Amino acid sequence: MLKSEMKQHLCEGIIPFWKGLRDDAFGGYFGYMDFDLNLDKEAEKGCILNSRITWFFANAYLILKDESLLDEAKHAYEYMKSACLDREYGGVYWSTTYDGKPLDTTKHTYNQAFAIYALSSYYDASGDQEALDLALQLFELIESKCTDEVGYMEAFTRDFGPESNDKLSENGVMADKTMNTLLHVFEAYTELYRVCKDERVKAKLLWILDTFADQVYNPELHRNEVFFDGQMNSIIDLHSYGHDIETTWLLDRGLDILEEPTYTAKLKPVNADLVRQVYEVAFDGRSMANECEKGVVDTKRVWWVQAETVVGFLNAYQRDESQTQYLEAARAQWEFIKEYVIDERTQEWHSEVTKEGAPHTHKPIVEPWKCPYHNGRMCLEVIMRGIE
């Protein structure tokens, strides 16, 4: 019942909710709704939020062929162009005011990547060459302004001067480089390469795969390291369960598109090890814990981790159908999501629930990081994979 149930949830829940967040007065989509469903129409609009919404509606259109979804994607794309892109210094802002003025002008590599992800998919859905041109410009910007001799740097001022990476640093550390940014640059470049087959993009994808296998992946601890100093030395004892399960299927997707057997062979055991480890230490039979820092497990069930768990386990099962425990884990995780994570009032998801399923009422339903990217993508992935 996975495919049919998720298609119903997508079409009758997630899509209508996010269509209702459309701002026809100032463009884009409203940026904040609290737990009690109070919508703040004058809250900041995260550029990541609007990039992810562009990506979501473009891909929903490509799969469902509903013209109204392409219209939503175009609406989000127009806001990206008019408000999120910095025409003076290049790149994408962190956030805008509700009426489309620059607010937080930080330029973050992570944010540039999500714009590429969105623009590439929008080009695929619409055929608008301008979107692809913008995506390629942002690729050039990342490679020229956001890299050093080691890899991808993180945060910059509006004119690409150095800035501390407070936005993607957590757990009491300030990271010069992060697995999270590296993963989502890979994700974005995968989509860009899929639609344009640019050899420069392919070369960077292969470099990132090597970096994951040789520097990010820790074979002794069976995990990816999360936060690094400038030379890619890990700076904290942290196992991010959600990022590890997400990594496995995003790298596999990139490998499928790249069609490089040597790299597929190199990454296959890495991904298999990561999946096995989170299944054994973080999945309790029905849901996935958040992370483990210095041996202490954070047991809250975060919405995006639950979504990535479904896709990651399904992908692992499809790669090796003898591993039926992963198919059963994906089904169990979906049952947990249906019972506890989906907000009955809106059909959008709670940001967090306890291990037992009680929602954290201090967490909003919509905020700059909370949008239909993870849960909507989960539904789209299951529909495409055809697993019931």
- pLDDT value, residue 67: 98
Three-state SS letters, the chain: CHHHHHHHHHHHHHHHHHHCCECCCCCCECCCECCCCCECCCCCEEHHHHHHHHHHHHHHHHHHCCHHHHHHHHHHHHHHHHHHECCCCCCECCEECCCCCEEECCEEHHHHHHHHHHHHHHHHHHCCHHHHHHHHHHHHHHHHHCECCCCECCEECCCCCECCCCCCCCCCCCCCEEHHHHHHHHHHHHHHHHHHCCHHHHHHHHHHHHHHHHHHEECCCCEECCEECCCCCECCCEEEHHHHHHHHHHHHHHHHHHCCHHHHHHHHHHHHHHHHHHHHHCECCCCECCEEECCEEECCEEHHHHHHHHHHHHHHHHHCCCCHHHHHHHHHHHHHHHHHHECCCCCCECCEECCCCCECCCCCCEECCECCCHHHHHHHHHHHHCCC
Q: Are 349 and 357 in contact (CB under 8 A)?
A: no
Tell me the CA end-to-end span of the chain in Å, nearest whole number. Answer: 4
- pLDDT value, residue 171: 84
CA-CA distance, 380 to 80, in Å (whole number)? 23
- pLDDT value, residue 100: 98
**Residue whose entry in the numeric block shows the structure tokens 């884009």:** 28
Q: β-strand 107-108 against 301-302: which pairing, if any?
A: unpaired
Beta bridge partners of 367: 370
- pLDDT value, residue 27: 98
Identity at 42, one-letter amino acid code:
E
- pLDDT value, residue 388: 84
Return the domain boundaries, the chain. 2-385
- pLDDT value, residue 177: 97
- pLDDT value, residue 218: 98
Q: Are 10 and 383 in contact (CB under 8 A)?
A: yes
Strands lying side by side in the sheet with 296-298: 238-240, 291-293, 296-298
CA of residue 225 relative to chain centroid, distance:
18
- pLDDT value, residue 23: 98
CA-CA distance, 233 to 71, in Å (whole number)? 45
Residues 6 or more apart whose Cβ sits within 8 Å of residue 19? 68, 72
- pLDDT value, residue 167: 80
Below-70 pLDDT ranges, the chain: none
- pLDDT value, residue 169: 79
What's the CATH fold of domain 2-385?
Glycosyltransferase (1.50.10)
CA-CA distance, 186 to 204, in Å (whole number)? 8
- pLDDT value, residue 166: 80
- pLDDT value, residue 170: 81
CA-CA distance, 118 to 48, in Å (whole number)? 10
Q: Are 142 and 92 in contact (CB under 8 A)?
A: no
Residues 6 or more apart whose Cβ sits within 8 Å of residue 274? 217, 222, 223, 224, 244, 245, 247, 248
pLDDT in tens, 288-317: 999 999 999 999 999 999 999 999 999 999
Identity at 167, one-letter amino acid code:
K
From the list 172, 155, 33, the residue with the least C-alpha distance to 93 is 155
Instruction: Provide the 10 A C-beta neighbour count for residue 9.
Output: 21
Q: Are 106 and 94 in contact (CB under 8 A)?
A: yes
